[in-house]
A and B are shown apart, each in its own frame.
Chain A
């Protein structure tokens, strides 16, 4: 579909002019003016479909009331959110915008914008989305925009006006434009927009055709926005259900393990090494700090190279200088607009050179960075009229394209730096002749004009241009480890999780970081699966070698499995790079890839730490998927901070985003967002552990209590001629799950803490208690179910024997002297139900190990509520009911001695097996958490009686070390 946009006029003043295409659908407008937009939530109709039984034994109220309850709660919640959204929408829809009509500026409410209106945006204004950038007050037709309202990225992005319209600068001029815009259909990618503008000078013939790509407009229609969010929401929804315990942790390196705060360490020009201190003074002190100098005194040629090198650094980036009144302002006006990978040359060793560079060179083209090419280039024209292409990028992407320069020396230096854990960047250049430049321009422009596959064509063009470079040198910057990153990784290891680091960095750098953050220890035996090795041997041999090594270790491991994972066995660490990985994953004709994959998985399974370097973003997701779908189906967690981690975050069961420097992409796509990597420790070891304990109790208790509830009903059918006669009264059927037994388990699943937070944090091995989903296995589930069945049988047959064949009667002393009254079926049901409610609640009380006042309130309150409700329900002839079957049933039951005795007896019988199981298991096969509880309890006991001053803290530390 094509959209035609009629542009009537165009204009400019001090401001940026933007044309608009706005579509408002309902109140779905994203409130672009605020940071805190409300995510679109669709009502989730997770309402249990009611059974279609022709002849239902329960009244409509019984089944209807819980349904009504659920619907009401949902409706109120949705309604409230809708109302909030409506308010936010109103605020946005009514915010004023300036548009151009007949050469004049008119103020309008933003909701009255129509497609084709031309909008005037002033500096620091928030403006509606879906605009095409026509013209700017700046000479070069650029403007800076932050997209914080859309994606939270606050960095300034440069946008370029459409070439043919940037000349229209005043209101009157703009008014004269007559053009149509052709563009593609709305799509979900927020940052992409491809279209073509046709400008008509006269009636018919388009005089100029200009293509614009994503850089020349700002867009995101409401529909997209919704799309985007419903998708995310769905993701979140489904993923929440995987509730921990994590077995594999996949982490990004840069920005996740490290600060992503680059510090300039050194550079190497033509083999001469310069360290940061020397440069930071603003002067380049050659020679003074050379470390690995190959040429001790750089000659005149060296000087020239140096100059070129720094010039390249100065020019080859997208750092922009905003024009301020005074020259002093230059420094603070530095606005990094670069994409994620650009190195910030922060404080100004290059200030002078930079300004010089800006003066002497004219920027002609930018071949912007992308993660596939791993490099970027600029083409500049010097004042002397020469054309230069400066290129910088990862060593692996530069070296193959270099034909001249001291490649070996620089390469050696780069490798040395990488081993130190520094991030390296190589710089190269080439000169272009006039005609070369023109052909380059042509190539790029053709590619840019393409409506389809523009990216692909651009990439091809770039590939051709960035060839035959001359190597200038390399820089090295340090990216410090985040606070407590090593501690966190170590804890995760101790907790039995396998940590994988997935990074785009080169192997040496990444390996150094991994040692620094204790992913690998000194005694870790490193297995390498890299291109270097596979060049020597075939992949097949390498894989088999490694698996042999690992299996030997595995054999010794199985002997130790009884005592858990022993620390004495040497750890294995695996390093694999992207290229090897893809060949492992690649399916071959013989179908042996499955085989490779299996061997690879087998190796991975036995390595506690794996480092994957040189990974493309998609490969990260591939790896996660591979592990996720391997035969044990482990639960995976992925953590990352940048856009390149999004795929992996989405792929893993649990995705965690770090809100770092690289925008909110990762955080937006994640299930949980945290500010620092170190928070992962508390999140997994403490909250993860708690949540797991709580959710497993919640799930199993729900099954248990409903088995207890329904199984007597089932048994009763054998005694009522299979006539579906309900055992319990309607009110009890309805309220059992929504009020009598709901709050205690809700509270349990909110605040249960079997072990204190600080102990969990201090002793990561406690996490192994819940490893491999130990609390939600079949064994445990069957135990709970059997317990439920047992209890149900006790309830039912207990009541049965009380009623059957005997005169179970009440001494109605309260009513009349010495009468003996018979009990009917409703009393029978009420007796069973009373025992049921008490047993089920007390069972939870036995499970609760953390009694706050709320627990007391809720547990005893629930029982009290049941009694009060029953008294009330049976105490009145309810006028609106057509049956009075419960009238005085509860009171009559309570006035009978045997009923009391029976209730107490049955509750006791039901609770004994579980209590016994708990005690015996704790005594004979305690989990680590239970040991700790025990020691703490003993300690408290001793402290009370001996006034010992040993702090609990020390004691538990002692245990954690044990």
Chain B
């Protein structure tokens, strides 16, 4: 039954109980206008939520959600993902040495090689991520420690960055570009991937470093100062590099389209993660040939090059705060990356709705008639 009705009220147009007109000095009447709105007589649709009305809704939700959930779950399960931790906590780990401060000669970069095996081949495009744990990119003082005007290429902000950047605002009396704590802590491990051919030789897996940032970030939000001047060295003249960086911002890449503020690694890093455990897109591995999988099954080596920090510490230092570093390889589907939660949640909610529908049906059958019949003869 559809429990609703249209109702246009015909009230006697008498004065409502609210303060009436002035009795004595009836010059001005305070009587409200006799309009449908002021007399609360607007025509209205009066739906009622009853078991009868809600029942179909529950069944429909159940019937829609369960297939969606199954679809999502299957899709998510088809996504291939490989994850490897290279923090180097374990002394047996190849990266143990590199991750220790002051144990290696600080004049040359430390490289560690981690071998791994892919049990299955990755057929479609593969996305390579780095993941950090226990890294609070969402800390309030961290999140605000940036200057969007500077990153947008504003000349005045370049020379005098926002106060928010403190204490990473100036160094040696020169403004830091890019200023702030986020930029200062840019992830700077270099990951390279080698496929070990069955004959034992290593071949470099081509990694594409462009196209990993939002298009709008790359093209609108982040701009190098100086407009179309590609001589970034000149543009950034008079600024200082962030204290933890080894190279200034204009030497991040040799490609002028991926250098300075519009370096995509930098842009990705600047989008602060929501949660302390996060992963960020690092490289793309594009499928070249329909015949050959993007990543064949077999043995691989991950080379991690620790960038040299001249002063304080060795690698990208996560061990001091119990952090973890990971490398993730993953394919994607229409719904993005591997996400079992959504599928499971849809299936659960769909089932619960269906179940509730059945419960309501029972209630409706059992008590629905009783109510109607019990009231009227009384």
Among B139, B142, B371, the residue within 8 A (CB) of A926 is B371
Whether B216 pairs with A887 at a CB distance below 8 angstroms is: yes
Asked if residues A935 and B376 are in contact (CB atoms below 8 Å), the reply is: yes
The smallest C-beta distance from B370 to any residue of chain A, in angstroms, reads 10
Is the CB–CB distance between B54 and A824 below 8 Å? no
One of A511-519, A546-554, A677-685 at the interface: A677-685
Please pick, from A153, A687, A920, the residue contacting B24 in the complex, using a CB distance under 8 A: A153
Q: Is A821 a contact of B213 with CB atoms below 8 Å? A: yes
The smallest C-beta distance from B378 to any residue of chain A, in angstroms, reads 4
User: Which residue of the partner chain A has the closest CB to B2?
Assistant: A941
Task: Find out whether the CB atom of B367 lies under 8 angstroms from the CB atom of A959.
Answer: no
Instruction: State which residues 857-913 of A face B: CB under 8 Å.
Output: 877, 882-885, 887-888, 892, 896-898, 901-902, 905, 908-909, 912
List CB contacts (< 8 Å) of A727-763 with chain B.
751, 753, 756-758
Picked from B42, B275, B280, B364, the residue with its CB within 8 Å of the CB of A751 is B42
Neighbour of B138 across the interface among A148, A674, A719, CB < 8 A = A719
Which residues in A have their C-beta under 8 angstroms from that of B17?
672, 674, 679-680, 682-684, 686-687
A36 partner, pick from B1, B25, B127, B281, beta carbons under 8 A: B25
CA A818 – CA B127 in complex, angstroms? 11
Provide the bound-state CA to CA distance between A720 and B140, in Å: 8
Which candidate, A7-15, A206-214, A599-607, A804-812, is the interface stretch facing chain B?
A804-812
Residues on A with C-beta less than 8 A from B24 are 35, 148, 152-154, 659, 664
Nearest-neighbour CB distance to chain A for B14, whole angstroms, equals 8
Minimum CB–CB distance for A676 against chain B, Å:
9
User: Of all chain B residues, which has the CB nearest A920?
Assistant: B363
Whether B337 contacts A905 by the Cβ 8 Å rule is no
Question: What mask results when residues 270 to 299 of chain B are scored 1 for a CB within 8 Å of chain A, else 0?
Answer: 011111111111001000000000000000
CB distance from B268 to the nearest CB of A (A): 6
**Which B154-213 residues have C-beta < 8 A from chain A?**
162, 164, 211-213
A626 within 8 A of B: no
Contacts of B61 in A (CB 8 A): 908
The answer, yes or no, to whether A958 is at the interface (CB within 8 Å) is yes
Mark interface residues in A790-830 (1 if CB within 8 Å of B CB, else 0). Answer: 00000000101111111111111001101111111101110
How many chain B residues have a CB neighbour from A under 8 Å?
107
Interface: A619 (CB within 8 A): no
Check B274 against A824 for contact (C-beta < 8 Å). Answer: yes
Distance between Cα atoms of A726 and B144 in the complex (Å): 11
Residue B360 interfacial (CB < 8 Å): yes
In the complex, the answer to whether A807 meets B273 with C-beta atoms within 8 Å is no
CB contact between A849 and one of B21, B47, B375 (< 8 Å): that residue: B47
Contact A820 B3 (CB under 8 A): no
Question: Contact flags (1/0) for A55-87 with B, using CB distance below 8 Å?
Answer: 001000000000000000000000000000000
- Determine whether B13 belongs to the interface, using a CB cutoff of 8 Å to chain A: no
Residue of B whose beta carbon sits closest to that of A941: B1
CA distance A824 to B268 in the complex (A): 9
Selected contact of B51 from candidates A679, A912, A919, A941, CB within 8 Å: A919
B320 beta carbon closer than 8 Å to chain A:
no
Partner of B18, one of A148, A672, A808, A818: A672
Chain A residues lying within 8 Å of B137, measured Cβ to Cβ, are 825
**In the complex, which residues of chain A have a beta carbon less than 8 angstroms from the beta carbon of B340?**
806
Interface residues of A, CB < 8 Å — how many? Answer: 109
Q: B5 contacts which of A153, A883, A909, A936 (Cβ < 8 Å)?
A: A936
Chain B residue nearest in CB terms to A659? B23
On whether the beta carbons of A820 and B19 are closer than 8 Å, the reply is no
Residues of A6-43 contacting chain B, CB below 8 A: 34-36
Measured between beta carbons, the chain A residues less than 8 angstroms from B16 are 682-683, 687
Asked whether any CB of chain A lies closer than 8 Å to the CB of B96, the reply is: no
Q: Which of B22, B65, B152 has the most CB of A within 10 A?
A: B22
Residues of A903-962 at the interface with B, using a CB-CB cut-off of 8 Å, are: 905, 908-909, 912, 915-916, 918-920, 922-924, 926, 930-931, 933-938, 940-941, 958-959, 962
B40 beta carbon closer than 8 Å to chain A: yes
The reply on A846 being an interface residue by CB < 8 A is yes
Provide the bound-state CA to CA distance between A918 and B367, in Å. 15
What's the nearest-Cβ distance from chain A to residue B369, in Å? 11
User: In whole angstroms, what is the CA distance A655 to B367 when docked?
Assistant: 44
Write out the residue numbers on chain A whose beta carbons fall within 8 Å of the beta carbon of B22.
Answer: 35-36, 152, 659
Contact of B136 (CB < 8 Å), options: A721, A753, A855, A924: A721
Expressed in whole angstroms, the minimum distance between the Cβ of B115 and any Cβ of chain A is 24
With contacts A675-B20, A941-B1 known, is A805 near B277, CB below 8 A? Answer: yes
Residues in A whose Cβ lies below 8 Å from that of B28: 35-36
Q: Any chain A CB within 8 A of the CB of B346?
A: yes
Scan B91-133; emit 1 where CB is below 8 A from any A CB, else 0.
Answer: 0000000000000000000000000000000000101010000
B181 to chain A, nearest CB (A): 12
Do A802 and B339 touch across chains, with their CB atoms under 8 A apart? yes
Q: Please, which residues of chain B bring their CB within 8 A of the CB of A851?
A: 44-47
Partner of B349, one of A683, A905, A936: A905
Q: A483 CA to B59 CA in the complex, in Å?
A: 55
A804 to B339, CA, bound (A): 9
Q: How far is the CB of B272 from chain A (nearest CB, A)?
A: 5
Partner of B271, one of A680, A824, A849, A883: A824
B238 at the interface (CB under 8 A from A): no
Q: Report if B330 contacts A (CB, 8 A).
A: yes
A residues bordering B, Cβ < 8 Å? Answer: 34-36, 57, 148, 152-154, 659-660, 664, 667, 672-675, 679-680, 682-684, 686-687, 719-721, 723-726, 751, 753, 756-758, 798, 800-812, 815-816, 818-825, 827-829, 846, 849-855, 877, 882-885, 887-888, 892, 896-898, 901-902, 905, 908-909, 912, 915-916, 918-920, 922-924, 926, 930-931, 933-938, 940-941, 958-959, 962
A-B contact pairs, 6 of them (CB 8 A): A725-B140, A807-B279, A822-B280, A825-B275, A908-B349, A916-B356
Q: A148-B25, A803-B274 are in contact. List 18 more A-B contacts (CB 8 A).
A: A34-B27, A36-B28, A152-B22, A659-B24, A720-B138, A725-B139, A798-B345, A820-B284, A821-B214, A846-B49, A852-B43, A883-B146, A884-B148, A896-B336, A901-B72, A915-B49, A918-B49, A919-B360
